[in-house]
Amino acid sequence: MQASSTKRRKICVFTGTRAEYGLLYWLMKEIEADPRLELEVLVSGSHLAAEFGATVKQIETDGIPVSAKVDMHLVSDEPVAVAKSMALGLSGCAEALGALKPDIMVVLGDRYEALAAAVAAAYMNICIAHIQGGEVSGSIDESARHAISKFAHFHFPSTRRSAEYLLRMGERPDSILGIGCPSGDIARQMDRVLTPEMLHSQGSGRVLDLNRPFLLAIFHPTTTEYGGERPQMEALLAALDEVGQQTVLLWPNIDAGADHVSKAIRAFRDRARPAWLRTLINLPPEDYLKVLANTACAIGNSSSFVRDAGYFGTPVVLVGDRQKGRETDAHVTCVRPAQQDIAAAIRLQLERGRYPPSQLYGDGHVSQRIADQLAGLSLYVQKRLYFVHEPEAQAVPARRTEIAGNGAP
């Protein structure tokens, strides 16, 4: 059925982390602006955790309507706590969705929070649209991503390769509705002016001189390497100390092993008392992107270093296996989590300087295209594994090539 001209279609967007919210911000705005759509926002995960900055406040400050909150975070970074958090999230999302009654649930990426929301929606016969399906990366997140793809009814993959992988996973060609990641949408529309207040109104450590080059470091735990995070973080810190460039470092995310990374940072800070280091818990999405756009080099394992940094042409040293297998452009140098390798790569990237902007993950106009598709979809519930050799394969329109816009294969 097509969306009714008199009744707006209810779109529930799920967000569970600060990074995910930054990617979804402009999509939410596009949904709000579309007269055919009604926006609902389900907030969960680290957004509601004080130790991670209670970033739900930022969502509210941005004027995004919060329709429901699901508290699922247990105060522990042990793997068992993440599994239990998923159970809490599944229960809480089911209750919230039962009250909201959306027509479509939108989830992004590969997080366990998003997986909990997707499972709840699927078992409640709510149509699911998944952004960033089909990608390859390290850690348990890759398994979560592919699981979400199998629950999802429609797909908005970020790259051509991701779309092809979804086809190989048995997803129908006409369920793949566009290619491109919304990560570049904020970057395209924002100014890139970075002010001292953005970095110095919170956090601790060095006051950065923004007239001189500075580094950005982020290192999240890789959950499938639980217990090995601390020596890897220690190697990264030692490399930064060896380079000696002024650096802003963001604390890790909520994943299992985050406490090991945090303890390494605290121990290094207390022991070495680095005059070059400033640490921050959190930055609003646009402020974070301004830091990423202006840094001389980004070091660590954040997925934003692959996606957003490419749009800016920011040099990246990608450390370890958290993003292993993910598509990267020329701006990324991958290294082992070893001090000498990291330090050498940083020096080479600083010498090389900025790269041409990349559109591997989108052209900065993706959110509007997604919102437009959500308004006109023919919704369905029952999925079926699709085999490309079936007789009807020739009759299935490859809609991904018709509407993908700039990223069409």
pLDDT in tens, 393-404: 444 344 443 333
Residue 408 has pLDDT above 90, yes or no: no
Residue 114 has pLDDT above 90, yes or no: yes
Confidence label for 107 from pLDDT (cuts 50, 70 and 90): very high
Q: What is the pLDDT of residue 47?
A: 92
Mean pLDDT of the chain: 90
Which residues, in sequence order, are bridge partners of residue 37?
9
Q: What is the pLDDT of residue 284?
A: 87
**Pairing status of strand 154-156 against strand 127-131:** parallel
Q: What is the pLDDT of residue 282?
A: 86
Q: Which domains does the chain have, with CATH numbers?
A: 9-181+362-407 (3.40.50.2000), 188-352 (3.40.50.2000)
Instruction: Report pLDDT digits (tens) over 330-352.
Output: 999 999 999 999 999 999 999 99
Higher pLDDT, 168 or 2: 168
Confidence label for 388 from pLDDT (cuts 50, 70 and 90): low
Helix 366-376, helix 18-33: angle, nearest 10: 60
Alpha-carbon distance values, 192 to 58, 70, 287, 349, 386 (Å): 20, 34, 9, 21, 44
Q: What is the pLDDT of residue 137?
A: 86
What type of residue sits at position 9?
R
Q: What is the pLDDT of residue 389?
A: 60
Q: What is the pLDDT of residue 19?
A: 84
Q: Rounded distance, CA 267 to CA 376, Å?
A: 54
Q: Which of 106-115, 290-299, 355-364 has the lowest mean pLDDT?
A: 355-364
Confidence label for 222 from pLDDT (cuts 50, 70 and 90): confident
Residues for the chain: how many in total? Answer: 409
> Among 145, 98, 147, 149, which Cα is nearest to 120's?
98
Higher pLDDT, 78 or 116: 116
> Among 159, 18, 176, 42, which Cα is nearest to 96's?
42
> Among 379, 407, 386, 406, which Cα is nearest to 121's?
379
Alpha-carbon distance values, 184 to 24, 208, 290, 368, 394 (Å): 11, 26, 12, 12, 34
Q: 146 with 169: CB under 8 angstroms?
A: yes
Instruction: Report pLDDT digits (tens) over 7-20.
Output: 899 999 999 998 89
pLDDT over 70 for what percent of the chain? 93
> Among 79, 78, 146, 85, which Cα is nearest to 110's?
146
Higher pLDDT, 390 or 19: 19
pLDDT over 90 for what percent of the chain? 74
Q: What is the pLDDT of residue 404?
A: 38
Instruction: Give me the phi and psi of 224, to 5 degrees please.
Output: -80, 0
